[in-house]
Amino acid sequence: MRWFFAMLALLFTISCVNKQITKTQDPSKLTIQQVIADFTSGDFRRTLLARSQLSRLAQPQKIEVLKKVIDNPDPSIRMTAISEFTKLGKPACPFLQKRADTDPDQDVKQAALDALKTCQCTGPAPAQ
């Protein structure tokens, strides 16, 4: 009988959900500063939350966030920003080109070059 209650307690503990990750936020209440802070926190859960928040923003706001995040000193944050920029297509071209030309980290530089191909960034990019 003790085994049953021990397993039940373990199951309950494992099934607890972190509400910070699962709660949805109204996009109209999000601030760019909040999304940037979550994106650059270095905490995996907050980065996931920021990516979710980013998907709820309008494209001009997404670009505003990613413009700030892509210049972060942490290469992993820059890589994540490149991944998010890639989802925007052609409007991301100038930012991806800058990373491809100037990033000191070879992996980030290569990710930016790959993203440029994915976004079909050839010819003049749209004005920002």
**pLDDT tens, position by position, 80-120:** 999 999 999 999 999 999 999 999 999 999 999 999 999 98
Strands (E), 2-87: none
User: Alpha-carbon distance 47 to 32, whole Å?
Assistant: 14
Q: How many CB atoms lie under 10 A from the CB of residue 97?
A: 17
- Best CA proximity match to 38, nearest among 29, 25, 27, 51: 51
121 pLDDT tier (thresholds 50, 70, 90): confident
What are the structural domains of the chain? Answer: 30-118 (1.25.10)
Cut 0.95: pTM above it: no
**pLDDT tens, position by position, 43-75:** 989 999 999 999 889 999 999 999 999 999 999
